[in-house]
Chain A
Amino acid sequence: MVNAGSAVLQEETSQTSPVSQLLDGLRRKYAGRITAELHRPASPAEYAPLPAELDPRLREALAQRGIQRLYSHQAQAWHCLRGGKSVVVVTPTASGKSLCYNLPVLQAALESGAKALYLFPTKALSQDQVAEILALNQAGELGVRAYTFDGDTPGDARKAVRTRGDIVVSNPDMLHQGILPHHTKWAQFFENLRYVVIDEMHTYRGVFGSHVANVLRRLRRICRFYGSDPVFVFCSATIANPGELAEQLLGEPVECIDRSGAPTGERTLLLWNPPVVNHDLGIRASARSQTTRITRLAMGLGLKSILFARSRLMVEVLTKYLKDVFDRDPRRPPRVRAYRGGYLPGERRSTERALRDGAIQCVVSTSALELGVDIGALDVCVLNGYPGTVAATHQRLGRAGRRNRPALGVLVASSDPLDQFMVRNPDFFAEVSPEHARIDPDQLLVLLDHIRCAAFELSFRRGECFGGRDPKEFLDYLEEEGVLHREGGNWHWMTDSYPANGVSLRSVAEGNFLVIDRSGGKQEIIAEVDYFSVPSTLYEGAIYMIQSRPWQVEHLDWEGRKAYVRETHADYYTDAIDYTRLKILESFEQSPQGVGQCSHGEVHLLVRMAGYKKIRYYTHDNIGYGLIRLPDQEMHTTAIWWTLPPNVLEQSFTNRWQAMEGFLGAAHAVHFSAALLSMSEHGDLGRAVGSRGLDGYISTPSPEQPWPENLQPGERFDPTLFLYDNRPGGVGLAARLYDLRGDVLQRAVDLVNGCSCRKGCPSCIGPVLASDEGTDEDPKSLARSMLALLSGIGVAAAGHA
């Protein structure tokens, strides 16, 4: 660095920035583990002047916060919105997205007292948003009132929110159950509603998105009643089809703004495969050990880091390992903190604040920090395992990176096939595009639910449209059911019920559990856990961790929704073992397809917590088991399934292992195509592959126990692929897929045939490992043969062994 010219000096400084130092160190020491390096160069800012008509008070508020000009996308949003055009803004994290809507909203509030409704998918995001508006408000003494309105808003404050709020911040569930059915109390608000802001739009997909689209139809119907026609602002993380999704949610054309004017620093992404530790068995070191090592190096260089883990348990374990290194001295403030769902809001707020203020150096999180919670900018992002989708990967990596400074992301692969595929095929990873978000607002049962809710809110008039179609058929049905009463040209609500309470937008419900600490005779609530996480985290004997401090569950009061815990000093953590079983209750219809049969009907799904393992820290030895005594989690839903006769399999495949491999590969492709055709999310459809046992339940094969070795004596070998509707009662996906069964298999065949991979990849039949690639085995053609049998398509073309 001595005697260098200024240009060289600058370059060297950037080369020796802590991020570059870390990168160089990693490259030097661990070259063998880095399977690829992906770079994205820095991009400069594109600015636009502040709009001339901007209210001087707003101009002042911006100046106070150091903003003299806008990024190009902010200016573009301003012009569209002022012109009454709805927009969707798709730009990266920390690109000043919220100014895109805050500016026009505040301007309209100042100009004419116009109101705005902000919808966020979670409460945490709402509170963030209010804080940001308040800051602007204070800076410019604007006098604009922004309030959150959600389940936590106290009863006595609700009236003030309704009548005095200029900006009301809420969520779709609250709009659906708390606001629209009581719209008369909000009359003033709706009369003056000018903007509706829908942030984190990419989360409104699949069945949830279909519900939200209908809630927006209801919202616009109510607005029409009050004579307003608000403009919509959608904001989204990167997905393949933001414009399309926004238009489907709104039912109208939407302008897509996807060119960010915000500057970004250079980014490097390392794909990291843990080293092989046992060459004979091909066992690799754990992702966990690699993740902590990389994070430790980053922290040692003073870099602010975020670490994403895929489960809540893994967040706690990683936090403990990092705290053991960095937070050993209890007198000093902690440098590492955990962040996940289940923590009390106060705990989460304090972590967010500490991150923004730079008080902590590393945060370990689940997807909870994937959304736009404001935590300031960070330098390094480490992913402990592939998040499962391209969009989520980008979203998480976007957490690292400050303006004009280099950022580093590291994706550490676990031993999952999908993870291994990704790090071993960097070209695939670099080229694959983010996922499409699909919704089907006209899905029959979803639509019926919302027409019911809409009829409660306002009587339907003959000829009135809902979502661009005449709902007469639905109204007649509801009349026949005794829900509505038709008189003249109007359908009136007639029952003593509140329909919105019977319709849940998401498949989460049933009430949260409180975790109560009774160490030392106290009774203190230390966490709140959602219903679905309880069986796997709060069983009696479980070690429950918060900021990696262990508590042991002493008693779980299932009915009372409480878990009583006591602080403990265990040197182990616990991990639940569960299994899922599925049983056909009734087959509504079946028809031959290919050489097998396709059916749809009702199934019973059962998730049982069998027991738990005690795992010692660091060594990860299994030091004991415990039993879990909990009611089975049951779900009654609808499904579609395909069955092949066992003798066909025996004729078509040389051995059972091949048959199983082919079936699993085909299942992957069919699942993918079914989600696509039913416009649902992958997770809206569950998949099970197995053979029907004596008790009617499906037993699933595994590499250790392939078919039919895993069958009990006397059980029929009856290979079946199930796709079930992943919501209690189902939303009608199975029947729809049954109608489309030909297309589903055709699309799956096309998918596999059209995929350019050699022996299989996550885009077609699921990840295929290099070990397979090197051998004669060809999972792709096995899957192709299986699809040919299932569908009867291209039998001749499918040349199999």
Chain B
Amino acid sequence: MRSSGGDLRSRLANLHRGGPLGQDRAAPSLSERLRRAGRRSLNGEAPDDSAECQLAERIGGKQIAPGLILTTERVPFTPHGSMASHSLLWKQGEYPGTTLLALDTETTGLAGGSGTTAFLIGIAVRVPGDRIELRQWLLTRFSAEALMLGELAKAVGEEFTLLSYNGKSFDLPLLSTRFRLHRSADPLVGFPHLDLLPAVRRVFTGSWSDCRLASAERHLLNRARVDDLPGSAAPEAWRDWLTRGRMEELIGVLRHNRQDLLSLFALTDALARIYAGDLGPEADVVALARFHARAGRMRMAMEILEYRQSVLGMEGRQFLANLYKRAKRWEEAVEIWKNDTANGSLKARIELAKYYEHIAHDPVAALQIAADAEDLSGHVDDALQLRVARLNARCNARPWNGSLF
């Protein structure tokens, strides 16, 4: 068949632009236009070994193998609270108490799937003497990836708790894919993992415009980044390095990654304080109380709500009443229910009816409240109807006629 002749580019061009092969045409061919755009030649050459050494020097790292640079650093760290309070970020009994290993990767994209590579892996641990030991492996060629993954596996140790920002759904699955592609075991699988993103979202999602790490730093650590490269620029920076040997942006990515890692520790402390009840006006008290209650810390949940009781909305008060109910602190619960009933809450009214029926053993009062509730509710509520019928039967053999006497 005729179309098998000619090189691919001109055949492709032919599909859209026409023109038999080799014939002069007024419009430039696709390859010609690409050459003019100069995507490869105008801005320098792809990096060679000496460029790699130069890069290593610029970032204070060491080329540990062709294509792989390692930087190591010890940074002093001022703790913002006791390690013990970290347990409040976990469910009861799940706090591992092992060394926190912060992890953050920079990748060739955010699209996911097996075509996305991590070209920078940073890890950091707190070591005695209030220091953070930080390591970053920077890939300067694809070919060293297996080596980089191997180095990571050697470095992580045998007992640790992962600390990340969105690592559960991004960094970890991505690394897992990379290990799988290189047919080696994933050294991070199966370890406890404290992902701060859900912890931040839980409490601040309603009041912040977004929950990105930089926003959390600004709000919780009062820290604004200067000269920072947005995380999304990382893929472009690495591509610029690979194809043109440009370093500046890549160095910015390393700085950004380092800052992310350090912030994770400070943020953990700050969040632990917030979770202990040291709440600013932006925090969602009810969501936090719910988390503690689910995690098995009823007292903590109650205390947080009581502390802010004067400003609680209906949802918060009812949750508190519910906690009182579970703790059998009836007086406090009834007080909230009565209050909310007066404010028109149907739920509170039903709770009150239940209380009079089962706890106070006062079916008459219960019936009155339940019947009112039935009148007030706009729709048919089967459970409520059953309750009224049952109470009717208990109070009086005759059907309820709207009055007590």
List chain A positions with a Cβ less than 8 A from chain B. Answer: 181-185, 187, 444-445, 448, 455-459, 473-474, 476-477, 480-482, 485, 487-488, 490, 492-500, 587-589, 600-602, 638, 730, 732, 735-736, 739-740
Contacts and interface: CB of A to CB of B under 8 A. Distances in A.
Among A602, A638, A739: residue with most chain B CB under 10 A: A739
Nearest to B9: A477
B18 A589 contact: yes
Contacts of A183: 114
Contacts of B177: 182, 184-185
B15 A457 contact: no
A227 to B, nearest CB: 10
Contact of B113 (A181, A477, A732, A736): A181
B115 A493 contact: yes
A190 B116 CA distance: 20
Contacts of A497: 109, 111
B26 to A, nearest CB: 12
B12 interface: yes
Interface in B53-92: none
Contacts of B11: 444
A477 B12 contact: yes
Nearest to A480: B34
13 contacts: A182-B113, A184-B180, A185-B177, A444-B11, A473-B7, A474-B8, A477-B9, A480-B31, A493-B116, A494-B239, A589-B18, A589-B20, A735-B3
Contacts, number: 109
Given A482-B243, A600-B18, A496 B142 contact: no
Interface of B: 1-3, 7-9, 11-12, 14-20, 31, 34, 39, 108-117, 141-143, 173, 176-177, 180-181, 235, 239, 242-243
A184 B179 CA distance: 9
A497 B142 CA distance: 18
B181 A184 contact: yes
Contacts of B12: 444-445, 448, 477
A730 B113 CA distance: 28
Contacts of A492: 117, 142
B115 A498 contact: yes
A482 B39 contact: yes
Nearest to A493: B115
A489 B21 CA distance: 30
Contact of A488 (B111, B143, B173, B239): B143
A742 to B, nearest CB: 10
B239 A588 contact: no
Given A184-B114, A184-B180, A458-B114, A496 B1 contact: no
Nearest to B177: A184
Contacts of B142: 459, 485, 487, 490, 492
A589 B114 CA distance: 41
Given A444-B3, A600-B18, A740-B2, A458 B181 contact: yes
A215 to B, nearest CB: 15
Contacts of B110: 496
Given A482-B243, A497-B109, A589-B20, A445 B34 contact: no
A498 B114 contact: no
A245 to B, nearest CB: 20
Nearest to A481: B34
Given A185-B177, A485-B242, A496 B111 contact: yes
A377 to B, nearest CB: 44
Nearest to B239: A494
6 closest A-B pairs by beta carbon, nearest first, are A588-B18, A496-B109, A456-B115, A493-B115, A184-B180, A181-B113
Contact of A444 (B15, B20, B115): B15
Contact of A638 (B1, B2, B16): B16
Contacts of B2: 739-740
Contact of B143 (A448, A487, A498, A601): A487
A601 B18 contact: yes
Nearest to B14: A735
A497 to B, nearest CB: 6
A183 B114 CA distance: 7
A445 B108 CA distance: 26
A181 B115 contact: yes
B46 to A, nearest CB: 9
Contacts of A459: 142
A740 B1 contact: yes
A105 to B, nearest CB: 26
Nearest to A602: B16
Given A456-B113, A498-B112, A735 B15 contact: yes
Given A480-B34, A588-B17, 11 more contacts: A181-B113, A184-B114, A184-B181, A456-B114, A473-B7, A477-B9, A495-B108, A495-B235, A495-B239, A496-B109, A739-B3
Contact of A457 (B14, B115, B239): B115
A182 B235 CA distance: 20
A735 B243 contact: no
Contacts of A473: 7-8
Contacts of B31: 480
Among A495, A496, A500, A740: residue with most chain B CB under 10 A: A496
A600 B20 CA distance: 12
A500 B142 CA distance: 22
A587 B14 CA distance: 12
A689 B7 CA distance: 34
A455 B116 CA distance: 11
Nearest to A734: B15
Contacts of B116: 493, 496
Nearest to B181: A184
B235 A496 contact: yes
B301 to A, nearest CB: 27
A184 B113 CA distance: 8
Contacts of B39: 482
A19 to B, nearest CB: 51
Contact of B180 (A187, A490, A589): A187
Nearest to A222: B114
A178 to B, nearest CB: 10
A488 B16 CA distance: 32
B141 A487 contact: yes
A482 B43 CA distance: 14
Given A480-B34, A482-B39, A181 B15 contact: no
Contacts of B180: 184, 187
B32 to A, nearest CB: 12
Given A474-B8, A480-B34, A638-B15, A494 B242 contact: yes
B229 to A, nearest CB: 15
A739 to B, nearest CB: 5
A292 B20 CA distance: 58
Contacts of A182: 112-114, 177
Nearest to A472: B8
B168 to A, nearest CB: 13
Nearest to A183: B114
A459 B14 CA distance: 28
Contacts of A456: 113-115
Nearest to A496: B109
A567 B234 CA distance: 55
A473 B4 CA distance: 12
Contacts of A739: 1-3
Contacts of B112: 182, 498
Contacts of A736: 3
Nearest to B39: A482
A500 to B, nearest CB: 8
B42 to A, nearest CB: 13
B176 A495 contact: no
